[in-house]
Amino acid sequence: MAEPARSRRSFLRTLTLALVGGAGLWRFLTPARVPDARRVEVALADVPEGGALVLPETGVAVTRGADGEPEVLSLACTHLGCRVVANEDGFACPCHGSRFDRHGRVRTGPAKRPLARLAFARRDGTLRIEV
């Protein structure tokens, strides 16, 4: 049986759909962009014992370590850069299912590396964080 002739219109429609689908796939698979560097100040008294102070607008979470010392974690998942969310067990990536404990260590993948620790300076009960 002979193939029907393809029109120019059907070719352009197929090409457009392929380009739009490729752009959507590209957006889903590329990591999130890191915002421009800026300074965040947090009062150490605002960080709860056994919990986390999450600052979603800056992509930072401040927790206390086992020794009571503050830890500053990036909220960017180390798998593909999605923003993790805090839960009662630690942090979870809504994109691909990675789970991290409250210190940023990987509990389940696909992430292989812990959440990045950010440097901070402590002065007069205040943490200055460069994000």
User: Residue 83 forms beta bridges with which residues?
Assistant: 76
Active site residue 96: yes
**49: exposed, middle or buried (Cβ count in 10 Å: 0-12, 13-18, 19+):** exposed
What is the Cα–Cα distance from 31 to 78, expressed in whole angstroms? 9
Q: Which of 13, 39, 96, 117 is flagged as catalytic?
A: 96
Asked whether the CA dihedral 29, 30, 35, 37 is positive or negative, the reply is positive
The token pair at 37 is: 């560097």
Q: Which residues are catalytic?
A: 96
